[in-house]
Amino acid sequence: MKQVLIDYTLHLADDSLILGQRNAEWCGHGPVLEQDIAITNISLDLIGQSRNFYQYAATLIGNDSTEDSLAYLRKEEEFKNCLLVEQPKGDWAQTILRQFFFSQYQYLLFQQLQNGKDEQLAAIAEKSLKEVTYHLRWSSEWVIRLGDGTDESHQRMIKTIDELWKYADELFSATSYELQVASDGAGIDVSKLKEQWMTKVKEIFSEATLPIPGKTFVQGGGKEGRHTEHLAYILTELQYMQRTYPGCDW
Amino acid sequence: MNNYLRKFYYGDIPEDKAGSNIVSSSAKSDWPLWEVFIRSKQGLDHKHVGSLHATDAQMAMENARDVYTRRMEGVSLWVVESKYIHASNPEEAGELFEPAVDKIYRHPTFYDLPDEVNQM
């Protein structure tokens, strides 16, 4: 039981950390000052979530494990984040759509997780839910604004839907550790969230005058450590200081 | 960057500037300017804290939240498009404000207040 709970907690932590790191790439490069701050806020919220999950995972693992060792010293194949969060930030449309997909998923997940049997996970989910509610509101509005905006913004959304749709499915295909933790009542069976997620996405897409793609090829594996090439580049940057100066401190 | 705030004086608003016009262009230079007011936890009134750009009221509210309330500055937000704020003309400062200068008797400092009154 313990190992699957550790895997599950790390999976939740990695999702938040990697998306936080990705969004942080906008810092100082946002399309306008106000949105630069908005996306960076979201980035910080996500990194805050990941810290809570890592700290909990570290207590479960014991030994000398800390939040830092988990974030900075694990290898690529040990990371259990989904492929969606590690994809490049792309243009603003891609960042917005990815955030919308992920926030909608996280919103449904944390709503249930806050009532889960594991007190720590439930507490983190409850605390994070307020932030996620805002991320979802913010990103939904941007999807509508871009989809139903100018010809160019609409085209860019179509292009990014094409790019990201294949990664959405992985959010809802449960790994064995997710299923085991769910059967103990501590976690959530994500496959049961898919229908609700799809309903919400359809709602926003219809308001944004964007089409829902038909059946396409889907790609997964990230949650089990099989990543796209992008993750290694993120980790190279993220872990650089600890790898170069082991144990370095502020 | 050709953003500048053009304030109109009372009775001087041209037709095309009156009323709400939602700007749909995505270019930043076209986004209207908004003034932001925040009421802090202890405060009773909303205070002006600054301005920002946004395409509509909803976005202005969210931008205000993100830009001005990151450090728990407030519990309530107002945003208003800058063009709706009418400013007094600096050239009229003399006639508007100077007559009050020598009328100190308008301050309630000539009364003995009972000790129970401590909110003056």
**pLDDT for res B20:** 44
Q: What is the mean pLDDT of residues A138-150?
A: 96
Return the number of CB contacts < 8 Å for A and B. Answer: 36
What is d(CA B65, CA B73) in angstroms, rounded to the nearest whole number?
A: 10
**pLDDT for res A70:** 96
CB contact under 8 A, A41 and B59: no
CB contact under 8 A, A38 and B55: no
Residue B9 within any structural domain of the chain: no
Residue B116 within any structural domain of the chain: no
Residue of A nearest to B60 (CA): A34
Residue B72 within any structural domain of the chain: yes
Q: Quick one: pLDDT band at residue B97, thresholds 50, 70, 90?
A: confident
By the 10 Å C-beta count (0-12 exposed, 13-18 middle, 19+ buried), B12 is classed as exposed
Residue of A nearest to B54 (CA): A34
Instruction: Name the token pair of B40.
Output: 């802090």
State the total domains in chain B.
Answer: 1
Q: Which of A17, A116, A121, A109 is nearest to A60 (CA)?
A: A121
Specify whether the CB–CB gap between A193 and A105 falls below 8 A.
yes
| Digit-coded pLDDT (tens) for A65-108 | 999 999 999 999 999 999 999 999 999 999 999 999 999 999 99
> N- to C-terminal Cα distance for chain A?
36
Instruction: Name the token pair of B107.
Output: 């301050």
Q: Which residues pair with B52 in a beta bridge?
A: B34
By the 10 Å C-beta count (0-12 exposed, 13-18 middle, 19+ buried), A23 is classed as buried
**pLDDT for res B29:** 60
Residue B68 within any structural domain of the chain: yes
**pLDDT for res A219:** 93
Q: Quick one: pLDDT band at residue A250, thresholds 50, 70, 90?
A: confident
Half-sphere exposure of residue A136, counting CA atoms within 13 Å on the CB side?
A: 20
Task: Indicate the average pLDDT of chain B.
Answer: 79
Most B-contacting residue of A27, A29, A32 (CB-CB within 10 A), to test interface: A32
| Digit-coded pLDDT (tens) for A158-209 | 999 999 999 999 999 999 999 999 999 999 999 999 999 999 999 999 999 9
| Digit-coded pLDDT (tens) for A98-120 | 999 999 999 999 999 999 999 99
Residue B101 within any structural domain of the chain: no
Cβ contacts (< 8 Å) between B54 and chain A: which residues? 34
Q: Quick one: pLDDT band at residue B25, thresholds 50, 70, 90?
A: very low
Task: Indicate the average pLDDT of chain A.
Answer: 95
- Residues of A at the B interface, defined by Cβ within 8 angstroms: 31-35, 37-38, 41, 137-138, 141, 145, 149-150, 153
Domain A2-244: CATH architecture, name and number where available: Up-down Bundle (1.20)
**pLDDT for res B23:** 43
| Digit-coded pLDDT (tens) for B26-71 | 444 689 999 999 999 887 899 999 999 999 999 999 999 999 998 8
**Phi, psi of A8, deg, nearest 5:** -65, -45
| Digit-coded pLDDT (tens) for A27-78 | 999 888 999 999 999 999 999 999 999 999 999 999 999 999 999 999 999 9
Most A-contacting residue of B59, B68, B71 (CB-CB within 10 A), to test interface: B59
Strands, E assignment, A83-225: none
Closest CA of chain B from A149, distance in Å? 8
Specify whether the CB–CB gap between A161 and A143 falls below 8 A.
no
Q: Which residue has the higher pLDDT, A21 or A214?
A: A21
What is d(CA A174, CA A191) in angstroms, rounded to the nearest whole number?
A: 6
At residue A234's C-alpha, the angle toward residues A232 and A238, to 5°, is 115
**pLDDT for res A176:** 95
**Domain boundaries, position B59:** 21-89
